[in-house]
């Protein structure tokens, strides 16, 4: 086992019976399609069979062969349409596939058939999962289509080689303001991405500095084109984050006014140039008027004006603009309690519904604040029937332990996707909005901030690979359960030992709750050190302009976001959710302090008071973090030495650090409230 390979561990299968049983099937690969993507599939399958089964498959392009695995799109051979009805394929979307066993007389084949070539590659990775999990391949019939059209990753890589909020080393794309040119690493990354169905990557930070602004010039476009070529062979489109004010920096203009003819012309020319290098360029990701980035507000224009200007330039080439909704005033005055950062995105964008061109997609973070351990779902979802939306998650754990702590986020993401917005009555879940179903969006899906870097194991904490894997699998099919995804990842990553599967599963699935227990309570968020966001600092942001408060005083804690006498944020939700959040009685415990300021003695639905809940969860969180270490130690000998030791170190660091969290939070609230712990535990 090698950490570098993540879940694509093609180690030898120890179950010889399984190998013997499938010997003939694995002994030949029949390829009926010559596309680059199918070539990637063939290569992957060939190498994997060789190292997993110890068989070197022969390669053929004859469908009449007796045995073998057939790689084809359904149009590649007339007799494929005999075996598979075209109706079956009509129901698939363009990236879908069917895997089916074909037996006729002594002929035994496994057909891996995509609707188009990318389906063949996805199906191949699916088959490899089955092989690695030693499933029987005799009578397969699998039909798969991705549920989301856009399945994307946003890198926050800077050209100096650093990664904004990166916790696994430096960039694999850039160093010293140049491209690294490390083709092998990028190719392996592309394999990991497409093995979980990712089909788009934006390759630079949303904060586009001076140097990265040049990515769209002849200075760097040849390099971007080389990256795009590597990704293309795995069905992945390349996107760039663009500097909204490029017309000034690159075009020599003195304005970036989106309604200015020269500015528009400048982008039209720029986009033409980009496509001359990269004919299938995906488009732009834009962070405008946010955290000191330039944007249309400077010119008294709105976000539709800004986004549409770029969209018009991209339209003839089929490109799209991801326009981020992370727009808020980061210089607000904390003494003015009528402002509320949580309200900002909705206030800015909702009134513009219907004004965006159809190749603009609004990119909305899952919550209204910023990837906290617990937040409500952004009220923008469902509120803009006439504007394409993608959901933005963060795979990197900026506020959830930075890949030093174990915090497996699939359960959190599932909660977001299953959240009912009630936008058109019951059942208007976020997953049905972002997959385009509810409002017939032209472009929609899910994107996320990447958690990889150039550490040998990609993610720093080896168990953080599960977040990468889980993200891809979940957005391919949001109906998969967290348990299914987790088990799959463990078996592919560590093997099929049932004790390992059971134990690591339970560690992963509990880890989000554990992290929440010893950090910010009941949805209030933050309480982290400012700037780097690692470790506890209860009042770190309390008196800053960034707009992230908890309002703890000697009487109570929480942010009053009610319509009645708070910031009015609850009013941004549809009625059912608005009513639920508005009242202290019906607001779910886990979000109580996000929506309400309550006395420390307020009794939660769980029966305990807020203050006692804070004490209990913080003591419990540390015990649970200790237990993670113990559980992992039990697996010694079952996990290879390097990964065992690496993970153990991180879990020990987490257990230690959880004490710091517990002690700071408990002491802080003990001093504020003057209320003793019912159980008289030691509070420092
Ligand atoms: C915050 C990060 C910041 C990003 C910003 C964003 O702290 O580094 O630039 O989000 O999403 O979470 O633009």
Judge whether 289 counts as a catalytic residue: no
State in Å: Cα 607 to ligand 1 middle.
Answer: 37
User: Whole-angstrom Cα distance, residue 41 to residue 536?
Assistant: 46
> Do residues 553 and 539 lie in contact, with contact meaning Cβ atoms separated by under 8 Å?
no
Give the pLDDT of residue 333.
65
Q: Which is catalytic among the residues 144, 398, 488, 582? A: 398
Q: Which of 162, 165, 373 gets mutated to test ligand 1 (max ligand atoms within 8 A of its CB)?
A: 165
Tokens, residue 134: 């030693």
Our CA dihedral for 128, 134, 140, 145, rounded to 10 degrees, sits at -40
Q: If residue 392 lies in a helix (H) or strand (E), which one and from where to where?
A: strand 389-394
Closest ligand 1 atom to the C-alpha of 392? Answer: 11
Residue in this structure with the two tokens 């470790």, named with its chain if needed: 535
Give the pLDDT of residue 63.
86
CA distances from residue 531 to 104, 165, 321, 526 in whole angstroms, order as listed: 65, 10, 29, 12
Give the pLDDT of residue 337.
65
User: Whole-angstrom Cα distance, residue 143 to residue 152?
Assistant: 22
> Do residues 27 and 69 lie in contact, with contact meaning Cβ atoms separated by under 8 Å?
no
> Do residues 430 and 419 lie in contact, with contact meaning Cβ atoms separated by under 8 Å?
yes
> Do residues 495 and 132 lie in contact, with contact meaning Cβ atoms separated by under 8 Å?
no
Say if residue 331 is exposed, middle or buried (CB neighbours under 10 Å; 0-12, 13-18, 19+): exposed
> Do residues 628 and 650 lie in contact, with contact meaning Cβ atoms separated by under 8 Å?
no
How many separate helices (H) and strands (E) can be counted in the chain? 21, 18
The half-sphere exposure of 191 on its side-chain side, counting CA atoms within 13 A, is 23
Ligand 1 environment, Cβ below 6 A = 164-165, 206-207, 287, 326, 370-371, 398
Tokens, residue 35: 């596309």
Residue-wise over 475-485: b if at least 16 C-beta within 10 A, else e?
A: bbbbebebeeb
For residue 349, which of 307, 315, 377 has the smallest C-alpha distance?
A: 307
Q: Which is catalytic among the residues 291, 353, 513, 626? A: 291
User: Whole-angstrom Cα distance, residue 170 to residue 180?
Assistant: 11
Judge whether 398 counts as a catalytic residue: yes
Closest ligand 1 atom to the C-alpha of 449? Answer: 11
State in Å: Cα 543 to ligand 1 middle.
Answer: 20
Q: Which is catalytic among the residues 188, 289, 370, 392? A: 370
State in Å: Cα 207 to ligand 1 middle.
Answer: 8
CA distances from residue 418 to 382, 387, 586, 596, 625 in whole angstroms, order as listed: 13, 21, 19, 24, 28
> Do residues 361 and 320 lie in contact, with contact meaning Cβ atoms separated by under 8 Å?
yes
Q: Which of 167, 322, 326 gets mutated to test ligand 1 (max ligand atoms within 8 A of its CB)?
A: 326
Our CA dihedral for 313, 314, 315, 321, rounded to 10 degrees, sits at -120
Work out whether the CA dihedral 379, 380, 382, 384 comes out positive or negative: positive
Per DSSP, which regions of 115-249 are E strands? 141-144, 150-154, 174-175, 178-179, 200-202, 237-241
Taking every pair of Cα atoms in the chain, the longest distance, rounded to a whole number of angstroms, is 82
User: Whole-angstrom Cα distance, residue 31 to residue 235?
Assistant: 18
State in Å: Cα 394 to ligand 1 middle.
Answer: 10
Tokens, residue 528: 């982290």
For residue 623, which of 526, 548, 527, 518 has the smallest C-alpha distance?
A: 518
> Do residues 288 and 328 lie in contact, with contact meaning Cβ atoms separated by under 8 Å?
no
Parts of the chain with a pLDDT under 70: 333-335, 337-338
> Do residues 247 and 236 lie in contact, with contact meaning Cβ atoms separated by under 8 Å?
no
| Nearest residue (CA) to ligand 1, atom 9 | 207
State in Å: Cα 371 to ligand 1 middle.
Answer: 9
H-type alpha helices, 559-609: 575-582, 592-595
Closest ligand 1 atom to the C-alpha of 399? Answer: 12
> Do residues 128 and 45 lie in contact, with contact meaning Cβ atoms separated by under 8 Å?
yes
3-state secondary structure 71-95: EEECCCCHHHHHHCCHHHHHCCCCC
State in Å: Cα 598 to ligand 1 middle.
Answer: 30
CA triple 480-483-486, angle to 5 deg: 95
ipTM above 0.95, yes or no: yes
Give the pLDDT of residue 64.
81
Do strands 237-241 and 200-202 pair parallel, antiparallel, or not at all (unpaired)?
parallel
Closest ligand 1 atom to the C-alpha of 164? Answer: 8
Do strands 28-31 and 67-73 pair parallel, antiparallel, or not at all (unpaired)?
parallel
| Nearest residue (CA) to ligand 1, atom 11 | 326
User: DSSP character for 270?
Assistant: H
- Name residues whose C-beta falls within 8 Å of residue 7's C-beta, 6 or more positions apart in sequence: 192, 195, 465, 469, 489, 492, 493
- How far from the centroid of its chain's Cα atoms is residue 413's Cα? 9
Judge whether 138 counts as a catalytic residue: no
């Amino acid at each position: 086992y090698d950490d570098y390979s993540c879940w694509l561990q093609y180690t030898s299968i120890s179950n010889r019976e399984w190998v013997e049983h499938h010997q003939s099937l694995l002994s030949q690969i029949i390829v009926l399609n010559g596309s680059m993507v199918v070539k990637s599939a063939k290569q992957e399958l060939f190498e994997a069979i060789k190292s997993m089964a110890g068989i070197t498959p022969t390669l053929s392009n004859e469908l009449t062969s007796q045995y073998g695995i057939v790689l084809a799109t359904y149009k590649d051979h007339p007799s494929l349409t005999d075996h598979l009805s075209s109706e079956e394929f009509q129901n698939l979307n363009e990236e879908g596939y069917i895997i089916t066993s074909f037996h006729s007389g002594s002929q035994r084949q496994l057909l891996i058939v995509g609707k188009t070539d990318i389906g063949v590659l996805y199906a191949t990775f699916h088959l490899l999962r089955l092989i690695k999990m030693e499933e029987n391949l005799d009578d397969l019939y699998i039909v798969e289509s991705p549920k989301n059209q856009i399945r994307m990753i946003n890198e926050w890589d800077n050209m100096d080689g650093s990664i904004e909020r990166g916790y696994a080393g430096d960039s694999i794309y850039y160093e010293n303001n140049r491209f690294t040119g490390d083709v092998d690493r990028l190719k392996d990354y592309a394999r990991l991405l497409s093995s979980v169905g990712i089909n788009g990557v934006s390759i630079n930070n949303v904060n586009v500095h001076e140097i990265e602004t040049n990515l769209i010039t002849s200075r760097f476009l040849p390099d971007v084109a080389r990256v795009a070529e590597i990704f293309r062979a795995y069905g992945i489109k390349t996107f760039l984050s663009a500097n909204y004010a490029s017309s000034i920096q690159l075009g020599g203009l003195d304005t970036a006014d989106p309604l200015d003819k020269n500015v528009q012309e400048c982008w039209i020319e720029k986009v033409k140039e980009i496509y001359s290098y990269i004919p299938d360029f995906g488009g732009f990701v834009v962070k405008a008027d946010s955290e000191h980035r330039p944007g249309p507000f400077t010119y008294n224009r709105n976000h539709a004006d800004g986004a549409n200007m770029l969209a018009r330039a991209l339209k003839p080439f089929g490109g799209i603009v991801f326009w981020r909704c992370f727009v808020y005033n980061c210089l607000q005055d904390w003494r003015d309690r009528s402002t509320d950062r949580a309200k900002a995105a909705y206030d800015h964008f909702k009134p513009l519904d219907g004004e965006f061109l159809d190749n603009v997609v609004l990119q909305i973070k899952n919550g209204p604040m910023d990837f906290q351990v617990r937040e409500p779902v952004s009220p923008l979802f469902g509120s803009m029937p006439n504007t394409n939306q993608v959901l933005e998650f963060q795979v990197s754990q900026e506020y959830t332990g930075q890949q030093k702590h174990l915090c497996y986020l699939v359960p959190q993401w599932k909660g977001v996707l299953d959240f009912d917005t009630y936008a058109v009555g019951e059942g208007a879940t976020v997953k049905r909005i972002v997959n385009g179903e509810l409002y017939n969006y032209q472009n929609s899906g899910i994107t996320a901030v990447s958690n990889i870097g150039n550490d040998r194991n990609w993610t720093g904490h080896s168990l953080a690979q599960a977040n990468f894997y889980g993200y891809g699998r979940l957005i391919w099919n949001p109906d998969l359960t967290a348990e299914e995804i987790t088990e799959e990842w463990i078996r592919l990553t560590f093997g099929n030992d049932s004790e390992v599967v059971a134990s690591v599963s339970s560690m992963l699935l509990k880890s989000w709750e554990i992290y929440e227990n010893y950090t910010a309570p009941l949805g209030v968020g933050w309480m982290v050190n400012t700037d780097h966001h690692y470790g506890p600092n209860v009042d770190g942001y309390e008196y800053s302009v960034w707009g992230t408060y908890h309002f703890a005083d000697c009487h109570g804690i929480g942010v009053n976001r009610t319509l009645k006498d708070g910031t009015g944020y609850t009013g941004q939700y549809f009625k059912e959710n608005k009513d639920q959040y508005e009242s202290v009685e019906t607001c779910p415990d886990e979000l109580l302090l996000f929506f309400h300021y309550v006395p420390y003695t307020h009794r939660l639905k769980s029966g305990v008071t807020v203050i006692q809940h804070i004490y209990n969860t913080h003591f419990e969180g540390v015990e649970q973090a200790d237990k993670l270490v113990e559980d992992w130690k039990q697996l010694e000998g079952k996990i290879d030495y390097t990964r065992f030791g690496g993970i153990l170190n991180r879990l020990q660091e987490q257990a230690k650090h959880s004490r710091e969290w517990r002690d700071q939070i408990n002491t802080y609230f003990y001093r504020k409230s003057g209320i003793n712990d019912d159980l008289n535990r030691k509070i420092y």
